[in-house]
Amino acid sequence: MREIIPPLCLVLSLLLFIGAFAALAIESPQPSMELHIARLGDDEAYRERLEQQLEHRRLQRKVLIGSLFGLAAIMAVAAYTLMRPA
């Protein structure tokens, strides 16, 4: 069983790296049409709320990408530390 864990960790690490680069390839959240309309209008509270939602979505994306890269690195290190010399 112990011989199977390092290759699985390496495969999981590779998949996490692929997922991280795929998430990087997708464009970050952009302002919606509602936000553009709110910026032109007089409703400050509604505009602030929409801008906060946009910033929250951007932060979520950054955290997701950072987590994917971090977990991929952890899995790679774990795989190499669990390997035994032949």
Q: What is the pLDDT of residues 10-31, one digit of tens each?
A: 999 999 999 999 999 999 999 9
pTM of the model: 0.84
Question: Distance (Å, rounded) from C-alpha 57 to C-alpha 40?
Answer: 22
pLDDT at 30: 93
State the average pLDDT over residues 29-57. Answer: 92
Confidence of residue 41 (pLDDT cuts 50, 70, 90): confident
Question: Distance (Å, rounded) from C-alpha 86 to C-alpha 55?
Answer: 51
State the average pLDDT over residues 44-67. Answer: 95
Are 77 and 9 in contact by the 8 Å Cβ rule? The answer is no
